[in-house]
Amino acid sequence: MIASGYAGTIMADCYSGYQGITLRSDGSMQRGACNSHARRKIFDARSNHPLVASVLLAMYQELYDIEDRGKLLSNEARQELRQREATVVWTRMRAYLNSPVVKNLLPKEAMGKAVAYLNNQWDALQLYLTSGGIPIDNNDAEQLMKQVRAPTLGVGRGRKNWLFIGSIAAGGRAADLMTLVSSALRNDLDVCSYVKGVLDALLSGSTDYEQLRPDVWAQMHPEQIREYRREERRDRADRKQFRRALRRQAQRQAAR
């Protein structure tokens, strides 16, 4: 059902079920691998081979620095930035993964497994380079999922409450509603006003579903946009860029 109703990119970890979905789509869907998962495997194995970890993590730091600089750009400008700078980093990473120091890692070592993950998912990890609209990882989606549970329930209680959804149909409805709410949040909309507006439109007989998309709705109803969310996001981006700039400066000074 999912494969027949969607054409585009799935950004996810490397769970085999996602690969099955893309195969069932007859080529209409592509799976992009989450670079945050790949980086985390390197980070978790750093005590096994500190030197290899430091080199690979430094390259990932460069890739994420590029993403930070491209965050507020248009999709076209972001893709140009990635093609100009990120592809160079990926080329260096490929050369390092092919070097003897990495090739001689034992496959059962923690770092050997982390490197094997990179090699096995190499093309999927770089799929984001083909379009400025594809994220480098799926962190945003995972963070939005955390907002579904009530904060007062706690993580453990939330896991138990969501362990059984009731039925396949109920799972589909829950996924639709969570997607709708998360999409509204990503477009800085007042979620209650947006959901009410969509339901009112549907109940009145509207079938213009394109106009009910959160991004289109935000353009048509600017009064429902929470500007403070945009300001908070810009402030977070500015703080992150400042911290990264300080770190790069410290690294340059240490290298002298």
Question: In this structure, which amino acid lies at residue 199?
Answer: L
Q: Match 């059962």 to its residue by tokens.
A: 108
Hey, what are 28's tokens? 């209409």
Residue 23 pLDDT exceeds 90? no
Confidence of residue 159 (pLDDT cuts 50, 70, 90): low
* Residue 188, helix vs strand vs coil: coil
CA distance 6 to 15: 19
Calculate the CA dihedral of residues 136, 6, 131, 59 and round it to 10 degrees. Answer: 20
User: Phi and psi for 36 in degrees, rounded to 5?
Assistant: -65, -40
| pLDDT score of 163 | 67
Query: Which residue from 234, 205, 206 is spatially nearest to 68, judged by alpha carbons?
Result: 234
| pLDDT score of 152 | 44
Write the pLDDT tens digit of every residue in 179-197.
888 888 888 899 899 999 9
> In whole numbers, what is the pLDDT of the chain averaged over residues?
84
Confidence of residue 150 (pLDDT cuts 50, 70, 90): very low
What predicted TM-score, i.e. pTM, was given to this entire model? 0.74
Confidence of residue 26 (pLDDT cuts 50, 70, 90): confident
Which range, of 50-59, 124-133, 180-189, averages the lowest pLDDT?
180-189
| pLDDT score of 88 | 97
Confidence of residue 156 (pLDDT cuts 50, 70, 90): low
Write the pLDDT tens digit of every residue in 56-71.
999 999 999 899 888 8
